[in-house]
């Protein structure tokens, strides 16, 4: 095998690995966010508005932490984040039912594969 052919074979194999990595699914772990969201939903269903607000703020803080820790682009995290932010806004306004709905939509978004 000529050196040029060997170099071309190595280059093509490197490019095929890179393309595969770019198209592969990301392994995102939302277990903490989902668990915190479910806890907030339970507090909201018990008509405990102050606890719902506190737990929704915990979900938002965990979301911010995970967003800062993510080194690669996440498709589902920003989408869930919009629902989490809306849930915090609704909790501050005292609209517990709308906040619960937003958190349920955030969980649905995080569970998409």
Domain limits, the chain: 31-111
How high is the pLDDT of residue 90?
95
pLDDT at 27: 64
Residue with tokens 């594969």: 113
Residue 108 is predicted with a pLDDT of 95
> Closest Cα partner for 110 from 79, 86, 72?
79
Q: For the chain, which residues score pLDDT lower than 50? A: 20-25
**Which architecture does CATH list for 31-111?**
Up-down Bundle (1.20)
pLDDT at position 74 is 78
pLDDT of the residue at 2:
77
């Amino acid at each position: 095998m000529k050196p040029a052919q060997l170099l071309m074979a190595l280059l093509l194999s490197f490019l095929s690995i890179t393309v595969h990595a770019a198209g592969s699914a990301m392994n995102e772990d939302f277990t903490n966010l989902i668990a915190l969201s479910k806890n907030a939903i339970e507090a909201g269903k018990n008509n405990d508005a102050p606890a719902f607000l506190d737990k929704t703020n915990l979900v938002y803080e965990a979301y911010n932490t995970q967003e800062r820790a993510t080194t690669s682009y996440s498709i589902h995290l920003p989408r869930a984040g919009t629902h989490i932010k809306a849930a915090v806004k609704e909790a501050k306004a005292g609209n517990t039912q709308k906040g619960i709905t937003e958190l349920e939509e955030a969980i649905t978004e995080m569970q998409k594969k």
